[in-house]
A and B are shown apart, each in its own frame.
Chain A
Amino acid sequence: MGTSVFYFVATLSVFFALMVVFAKNPIHSVLYLILTFFTFTVHYILLNAQFLAVVNFIVYMGAIMVLFLFVLMLLNLNKENEPNKSMVLRIIGVIAGGCLAVTLIGSLRSVAISDPLVLKNPSLGLVENLGKELFGPFMLPFELSSLLLLSAMVGAVLLTKKEEKVNG
């Protein structure tokens, strides 16, 4: 049963991910992205990683995508005020996208099919075990990554601050 559920959800993920790219309206794109993240949550649950699932649910679906939607609603993009894209721009876009696709397919071809990884502890994804791992052996990288996030946050706040006028 597990595999068939996986294939069903995986098909949905790929379908929604494609719809993100193909949707004409940016708001629809974001909504499809939310659905894609939801299927990821289901994947995490299938992998017995409950904590990751619920955090993906809260952080990506509940917070980051709300902000995405917020910004797009503020911009209010629609057909009337969309700048006209010239033919040259479109051709360049197609070529660039094609190059990326070729590179990706080429690099994927050289990768061997990975062996199924067997975890030593299958319930590693439960909150208690994950917490012990993160605050035990992985303490230093965990704290360093929080420092990285903090510096990014300070940088973002600094960028939004208006420079004080220098009145001579």
Chain B
Amino acid sequence: MEIDFVIEKFILVVAIFAISLVIAMYSTYAERKVAAFLQDRLGPDRAGPFGLLQPLADGVKMFMKEEVIPANANKWLFMVGPGLAMLCACIGTAVIPWGQDMMVGDRLVKLQVTDINVGLLYIFGVISLGVYGVMIGGWASNNKYSLLSAIRAASQNISYEIAMGLSIIALLLVTNSLSLREIVEQQHEWRWNVLYQPLGFIIFMVCAFAETNRAPFDLPECEAELNGGYTIEYSSMKLGFYLFAEYINMFVSSTIMAALYFGGYNYPGMDYMATLLGPTWAPLFGTLIFFLKIFAFIFFFMWVRWTIPRFRYDQLMNLGWKGLIPLAIANIIVTGIVIAIVNKF
């Protein structure tokens, strides 16, 4: 293994890590601003111009708070919970292709940490691990509310994972590949997968909302009945990690949706732009477009949160098992039949 390869990947990993943390940090600010906008308020505007330093102030506040570990809690697992939540949130970005191959000097740089040929399944696996942070933290707190919340999180996660997996199968029928890079490359110019799989996209998106525990699926942290659920015993930066992990998850799911269904770094007129900007700047422009798509999805997440009220638990289960799963199976069958007919003629 050449040393420059290692350095290149190291820089890429650090950059992606830093970008996801900064985006998650400013998502907290954006969430409050969007909420304020939707409720006709001003939102945070005291720290810095337009309140732009608010996330920093929140971070400092979190670090300065007193650290409390309940006497009857399981101390080790209590600490493992938030760490696991952060870990699972951060490792998902490893297989995302952020842009086309870029020329830096005379060196071809791949804007992707690793292109494994089971990339899609890897992401699916990371998503399914995400619930352990909540479950372990909720159980280790030794609190009835936390325990109920952990159990809710587990059943919700398992239920919506199935529909999500089924919607991915329909996507696989279209793309014929599990490698994320190939899936994105196939969506050249305007041939985005959402045009071929609109129903699959809607199912995937609803499941992504449920897997990230975002409203209207935030039953594990329901304030009205569970007092905040699994976070109830947490204080200081451990609480901060849980809240932060949710925003990173939101960023990662937005990225996955943009890459799988909305073309990733592809945009109409990209061939023309490539001749205009050259092999160094055109891929970067594509990456910029990719991030704009991601931000649009993050905004959509927030928009939904401040528009739609929380589900009741039985409604959640009905939607998952009786609504989305049959719909996803029907989607697979229809997609299969259409592909068979198209291949015939």
Contacts and interface: CB of A to CB of B under 8 A. Distances in A.
A and B associate in one complex: yes
Interface of A: 27, 31, 34, 50-51, 54-55, 57-58, 61-63, 66-67, 69-70, 73-74, 76, 126-128
Nearest to B122: A54
B309 interface: no
Contacts of A66: 128, 131-132, 135, 154, 157-158
A15 B224 CA distance: 44
Q: Interface on chain B toward A: helix, strand, loop, or mixed SS? A: helix
Interface string B154-167: 11011001000000
11 contacts: A27-B139, A54-B125, A57-B125, A62-B125, A62-B161, A63-B158, A66-B157, A70-B135, A73-B147, A76-B147, A127-B118
Which of B116, B121, B151, B161 has the most A CB atoms < 10 Å from its CB?
Answer: B121
A19 B270 CA distance: 56
B125 A51 contact: no
Given A55-B121, A73-B151, A67 B158 contact: yes
Given A58-B121, A62-B129, A63-B128, A31 B136 contact: yes
Lowest 3 CB-CB distances: which A-B pairs, in order? A62-B128, A57-B125, A70-B154
B94 to A, nearest CB: 13
Contacts of A74: 151
B73 interface: no
Nearest to A25: B74
Contact of A51 (B118, B128, B131, B147): B118
Interface string B109-141: 000000011100110110111011001100100
A34 B158 CA distance: 16
B117 A126 contact: yes
B138 to A, nearest CB: 8
A131 to B, nearest CB: 10
Contact of A50 (B116, B139, B151): B116
A70 B132 CA distance: 11
Interface residues of B, number: 25
Contacts of A67: 154, 158
Nearest to A65: B132
Which of B125, B150, B178 has the most A CB atoms < 10 Å from its CB?
Answer: B125
Contacts of B122: 54
A3 B33 CA distance: 55
Nearest to A56: B125
B178 A127 contact: yes
Nearest to B80: A31
B135 A54 contact: no
Given A58-B121, A61-B129, A62-B129, A70 B136 contact: no
A54 B121 contact: yes
A25 to B, nearest CB: 8
Nearest to A61: B129
Contacts of B161: 62-63
Contact of A69 (B121, B125, B135): B135
Which of A34, A58, A61, A63 has the most B CB atoms < 10 Å from its CB?
Answer: A58
A58 B128 contact: yes
A63 B164 CA distance: 13
A54 B154 contact: no
B222 to A, nearest CB: 18
B155 A70 contact: yes
B121 A73 contact: no
Interface in B165-197: 178
A126 B131 CA distance: 28
Nearest to A66: B154
Contacts of B128: 58, 61-63, 66
Contacts of B77: 31
A16 to B, nearest CB: 15
